[in-house]
Amino acid sequence: MPSSEAGSPHSQTAPRCEEPKRTSASLVVVGSVAVDITAQAQTGLENALITHSTAPGSVSMSLGGVARNIAEAAHRVITSNSPELSSLLVSAIGDDHFGRLLTSETSEIGMRVDGLVKTDKRTPVCNMILDSSGGLIGGVADMGGPTTATLDEDAVGFHTWLLPCTTDQHAFNN
């Protein structure tokens, strides 16, 4: 049987992958995301014992970044009042463990993740060390990773206009 006959594996058209359908968002938040790691010394320890040494205590991790925090708050308000509406967080993340954590945890609370764009830079992380009463002793902010400035229309899939915000009334009168 010639390979061009019907029923031949060679005559079937290979399935084509369709581009994912993007749904519109009622609110778009553009800005930074981060992972916050907080270490707090056990209650009752003196700061002198914590400095230049390790101390018993607790370590926690949470999602952060100004835009991410705003987007989550907006998501919770929007979906509690109008479940058919959605918000979209547009931010750059690294293709690393922290980027995957941000994507997974963001999805887990019901937020959209199609605006999180992977880059070749590290996901921003902020590590804070607290004394036993919750006061900040110090920390390290690794914020040299991707920013929304690294995103372009091709990476995001749509064009975004970023306008400077001002409270100067003269700006509105001119």
The pLDDT mean for the chain works out to 77
| pLDDT at site 43 | 84
Q: Is residue 94 part of a domain?
A: yes
At residue 149 the predicted structure's pLDDT band, cuts being 50, 70 and 90, is low
Q: What is the pLDDT of residues 10-32, one digit of tens each?
A: 444 444 434 444 567 888 898 88
| pLDDT at site 146 | 63
User: Could you list the residue range(s) of the whole structural domain that residue 71 is in?
Assistant: 27-146
174 pLDDT more than 80: no
**Per-residue DSSP letter, 45:** -
- Cβ–Cβ under 8 Å, residues 35 and 98: yes
Q: Is residue 5 part of a domain?
A: no
What CATH number does residue 62 fall under?
Answer: 3.40.1190.20
What whole-number distance in Å separates Cα of residue 78 and Cα of residue 68?
A: 15
What whole-number distance in Å separates Cα of residue 67 and Cα of residue 70?
A: 5
105 pLDDT more than 70: yes
At residue 103 the predicted structure's pLDDT band, cuts being 50, 70 and 90, is very high
109 pLDDT more than 90: yes
Distances (CA, A) of 9 to 1, 12, 37: 12, 6, 54
151/94: higher pLDDT:
94
Q: Is residue 49 part of a domain?
A: yes
Q: Is residue 31 part of a domain?
A: yes
Q: Is residue 173 part of a domain?
A: no
- Cβ–Cβ under 8 Å, residues 123 and 147: no
Q: Is residue 61 part of a domain?
A: yes
72/149: higher pLDDT:
72
Domain count, the chain: 1
pTM for the model stands at: 0.69
Amino acid at 37: I
What whole-number distance in Å separates Cα of residue 119 and Cα of residue 146?
A: 7
Q: Is residue 15 part of a domain?
A: no
Q: Is residue 164 part of a domain?
A: no
- Which position has the token pair 């370590």? 59
